[in-house]
Amino acid sequence: MEKVLEIKGLTKRYRNNRGIFDINLSVYKGDIFGLFGPNGVGKTTLIKTMTRLCNADQGEVSMFGYDVFLQFEKAMEKVGCIIETGVSFEYMTAFQNLQVVSRFYPHIPKTRIDEVLELVGLEKYKNEKVKGFSSGMKQRLALATALFSNPELVILDEPTSSMDIEGMIDFRNIIKRLSHEQQTTFFISSHFIHEMERMCNRIGILYDGRLITSGLVSEIINKNESLENYYLSQIQRVRGDESDVCFVREYNQ
Ligand SMILES: Nc1ncnc2c1ncn2[C@@H]1O[C@H](COP(=O)(O)OP(=O)(O)OP(=O)(O)O)[C@@H](O)[C@H]1O
């Protein structure tokens, strides 16, 4: 298996002592890796630190064998990202926004604009200004931007947070198709555990800034009824007390 992304001992501590601590993980070609965790556990911090949007205190990150801190441009050459919210120009149409993106990739034919708009289901709205888009439509446009250059690794931070059920299903199908047909590798953060279970083949659980466990979703489901059960058992393990977790279980019955 070809390793596309490797993180070793990555630590970023904010002044308030929050952050991410000693993160170690590997992602392989064609993986759909899900970084799961509730609000505020450090998903965005991890993504920002591994892509150098934030300075790391310690640790190593390599993409395609290149050190992100020492050979940034080489490491990021085949990477597409949406971090926090995708940026778009509100007074331009979806098509014009992608025309702006296309200027950074002069070697890619302009026909790619229509191709990605169709891929994310925005072809009908391509001549509409982004200011009239719903937040789910903006997330689709952000995905089109991230996929424009046909990257081999796509890093997406909470890409479906504003999408409706159709948007989420479309999103899942796009990701699965690209992973299957083109061996595109995905690193996706989310707090939607059921979505992760359906979409990802590998998962890591972040809790209080620490990666408390990671593994293949198929193996986890075989041993536990669901990813949700597994998550609860892992939280219980690290917390060492059962009370809160039992409450969540009972409440769901
Ligand atoms: N610039 C900053 N300075 C200080 N603390 C920060 C900063 N950015 C984030 N934090 C804190 O670090 C922790 C992790 O935040 P982060 O945004 O990475 O979490 P997250 O898992 O992405 O959350 P969410 O799912 O709500 O987006 C939080 O407790 C947050 O308050």
**Per-residue pLDDT reduced to its tens digit, 132-154:** 988 888 888 999 999 999 999 99
Q: Where are the domains of the chain?
A: 3-78+153-162+189-252
What are the tens digits of pLDDT across the range 87-107?
778 899 999 999 999 999 999
- Integer Cα distance of 90 and 21 in angstroms: 37
Nearest partner of 217 among 11, 30, 33, judged by Cα: 33
End-to-end CA distance of the chain: 41
In short, whether 210's Cβ falls inside 6 Å of ligand 1 is no
Closest CA to 191 of 36, 41, 42, 84: 36
Distance 79 CA to ligand 1 centre (A): 23
Instruction: State both tokens at 141.
Output: 């446009």
Strand order in the sheet with 58-63: 19-28, 3-13, 58-63, 66-67
User: What percent of the chain clears pLDDT 90, i.e. is strictly above it?
Assistant: 76
| Helix H or strand E encompassing 155 | strand 153-157
* CATH entry, 3-78+153-162+189-252, from 3.40.50.2300, 3.40.50.300, 2.40.50.140, 3.90.1150.10: 3.40.50.300
% of the chain with per-residue pLDDT over 70:
94
Task: Assess whether the C-beta atom of 37 lies below 6 angstroms from ligand 1.
Answer: yes
Is 117's C-beta closer than 6 angstroms to any atom of ligand 1? no
With the most atoms of ligand 1 within 8 angstroms of its CB, the residue from 17, 45, 157, 189 to mutate is: 45
Ligand 1 centroid distance, CA of 19 (Å): 7
